[in-house]
Structure 1
């Protein structure tokens, strides 16, 4: 029976450890990457999961035995792979990570030259098929291919210098930050930035918790998008009288914010703040956002003289759209933030640097700053409904509001988006689960939000 690698997604590999991902599979993927991408030199790195080192080594061996020189960066956050690929002018990079997936999972993220993501549409399908071919016929050899070198390398110092160029260190005001690395891959980067701040007498103090990498994840897999993962950071902000709290996911390509009262800040409002941070420097810039919640970001961009456009969610879409529009920044409410001057890639470190610079320039605390914005555009956060017939349910909602006749906009753009004068909502199907995701917001009207949310919930309940 033919063996099939069925754990590839449209953009990466996520798999339960075992048959679908083990050192043999990692070796085959490395071999396939080198052959299909015609890569001569790539970098590899891995997160802190207990399986990552063994998988990374097998991946590197597969690359090398297919004639591709390998720079092994060791323990890395995903964005360090993005940086190294460009810094060393490589043919690509691969990060071994499962991000926020359960502890018995791992995976890989792939980029090509200039850290352009490799997905099914531009090479990942070829890698998958080539790896399957080898796994089904492992006796096939690479006659005449010279085994390339694998060598350890680090560009941490250069990476730190690059991301610090996004702000002016001399403009930072005294501040105390709570940093929760979640025992993931963020700790060594936090330490390096702290050392740089100290060397340059930057008046920002770091209070660090769970900073040591630990693949056993004693506090659980770090994923602050989950309510259950927020309490420790929130309490630590309060206990240490911090101005801001920041927590990261496992491979630290996403960061999450807590204000000075310990309140978690929805990613939607961080997108608006980051848009403002760029437009304060240059108002003639383009900002991209996902279509789920939009009014706050549009309002801030308009106030600051920029241009705002929607992009489909998912890094492949937003990175492509950013390149085409020359956008300086693109943000998703899921806490993925993309930057033109970081090769259009997402970073979990650049956002908090920009936020502390913005707070310094405004001489305001984060709770005060965001309380005003949240009151202007209240929303309950993304809500999920378990529905088997997802498309039919969404079509029925569309028809209901068409029949009402008072919608200003009814369109499909990465889901159903319906807009009225004082409220709007988005309904999207999950790509991987029987879920319909609802986002809804109003213009400064909590009562209307409550009423319209109840209406849509009642319409969706018929399909549950």
Structure 2
């Protein structure tokens, strides 16, 4: 029996177990289906450092070329490097990565030309269903009269030059930074963009941690949002008196930042910091932020003359709103950062470069700079397993019918008169409710947090 794609085709991408779910046959069928559904006949295909990546990329290319598409095999890529290729070459893209998932997983992210995302509501569901029919023998792949071609090309140098053209780091004061690549694709891209592997040296001394590409993740999981995975980075930053530390996830589309004391700088503070820099260049522009970012973000954007626009959580939602509003920048509390100058796509590297430019262009430390953007006390995300997520949300909404402002943009958001707010939303993939709370002080945050958790967990 063929693997059931509905089990591992998610809202925005494909993510599954190698061998039992993801096979070369599955990827070949998806390649053929992707060409048929999108009508795109020019594709770039890349992969991260996982062992199964090259074989899956080749299988996708076989399916795509049989359907008449020309494929450029880009080899090792970070996800944002694949977005660069899709944008700069105006081609569709297929990136084989499972991001921060464990070694036994792989996955696939696809985009249209100009790095426009392909999600369930923008073609991925049709690709899934068509590929399933091919695997089940219910239909044959569409065979073109003339198969497409496969060529191989490297893009690392062009990507590095483009990134340096967006943020000039040549005139900053000397900085010493520790970078934890987590054995992921940051080990491939950081030496090219921030080091002197391909371009002239910048006034940055890089202390590399776990730059060896290894899809088994021998040192720690490549998910820097988990506190346990940045312990080594924090220790090295403090031990070496570095100015700051950067941690990338497995496919290097997210970047997490710690200051000189090893203290994490929240993605909301990074969002506000980058927003102010972009508003200096583009006064009056729109800045997007998802609804679990700190309330400080829209306040600071407005104070700097920008127009804040609030979005749902998830890259397909924020990218769509950014394109509609022509927003110059967007940030999510998951450390995804999106830039109009980067085809509205997310890139951890460009966010890191903005942080380095801000610190290197100032006589202040990162912690002093970040303090300017921190105004409230957050709870962090709290997960609760529930039998019926939507019923629980309705129960919480009923509790706050009077005496609070509420909205249903994404789950339920509650805002109290004292400035405290909470968002409760269901997971897309698990029977969980995710709660984020923020208050003007710890007592008010904890009061609202505990009140909602009492309803959710009883």
TM-score by length of 2: 0.95
Q: Are the counterparts in 1 of residues 66 and 143 from structure 2 also a CA contact under 8 Å?
A: no
d(CA) in 1 for partners of 2:66 and 2:448?
60
Hey, what does 1:225 align to over in structure 2? 225
Hey, what does 2:382 align to over in structure 1? 383
Hey, what does 2:449 align to over in structure 1? 453
The Cα offsets for residues 421-442 of structure 1, whole Å up to 9 and x where unpaired, read as: 3211111111111211111112
Hey, what does 2:110 align to over in structure 1? 110
Give me the CA root mean square deviation.
2.0
Measured at CA, do residues 41 and 406 of structure 1 come closer, stay the same or move farther in structure 2, by a change above 3 Å? same
d(CA) in 1 for partners of 2:88 and 2:52?
27
1:157-176 equivalences in 2 (<5 Å): 157-176=157-176
Hey, what does 2:33 align to over in structure 1? 32
Structure 1 stretches lacking a partner, 5+ long: none
* 3-state SS of 1:169 partner: coil
Measured at CA, do residues 99 and 451 of structure 1 come closer, stay the same or move farther in structure 2, by a change above 3 Å? same
Residue 215 of structure 1, CA deviation: 1.8
Q: Are the counterparts in 2 of residues 248 and 348 from structure 1 also a CA contact under 8 Å?
A: yes
1:299-314 equivalences in 2 (<5 Å): 299-314=299-314
d(CA) in 2 for partners of 1:74 and 1:169?
28
* 3-state SS of 2:56 partner: helix
1:40-439 equivalences in 2 (<5 Å): 40-90=41-91, 92-137=92-137, 140=140, 145-196=145-196, 200=200, 202-374=202-374, 376-402=375-401, 405-407=402-404, 409-421=405-417, 422-439=419-436
d(CA) in 2 for partners of 1:173 and 1:427?
43
Q: Are the counterparts in 2 of residues 293 and 441 from structure 1 also a CA contact under 8 Å?
A: no
d(CA) in 1 for partners of 2:78 and 2:143?
35
Residue 331 of structure 1, CA deviation: 0.7
Structure 2 stretches lacking a partner, 5+ long: none
The Cα offsets for residues 64-107 of structure 1, whole Å up to 9 and x where unpaired, read as: 222211100101111111111122222x1100111112221111
Residue 143 of structure 1, CA deviation: 5.5
Residue 339 of structure 1, CA deviation: 0.6
**Further displaced range: 154-163 or 249-258:** 154-163
Residue 35 of structure 1, CA deviation: 2.3
Hey, what does 1:14 align to over in structure 2? 15
* 3-state SS of 1:230 partner: helix
Measured at CA, do residues 17 and 132 of structure 1 come closer, stay the same or move farther in structure 2, by a change above 3 Å? same
Residue 49 of structure 1, CA deviation: 0.9
d(CA) in 1 for partners of 2:60 and 2:194?
32
Q: Are the counterparts in 2 of residues 32 and 127 from structure 1 also a CA contact under 8 Å?
A: yes
Q: Are the counterparts in 1 of residues 41 and 69 from structure 2 also a CA contact under 8 Å?
A: yes
Residue 62 of structure 1, CA deviation: 1.4
d(CA) in 1 for partners of 2:188 and 2:215?
14
d(CA) in 1 for partners of 2:83 and 2:264?
28
Corresponding pairs, count: 456
Residue 137 of structure 1, CA deviation: 1.9
* 3-state SS of 1:165 partner: helix
d(CA) in 2 for partners of 1:193 and 1:182?
17
d(CA) in 1 for partners of 2:377 and 2:141?
61
The Cα offsets for residues 285-325 of structure 1, whole Å up to 9 and x where unpaired, read as: 11000012341101211221111010111111111100111
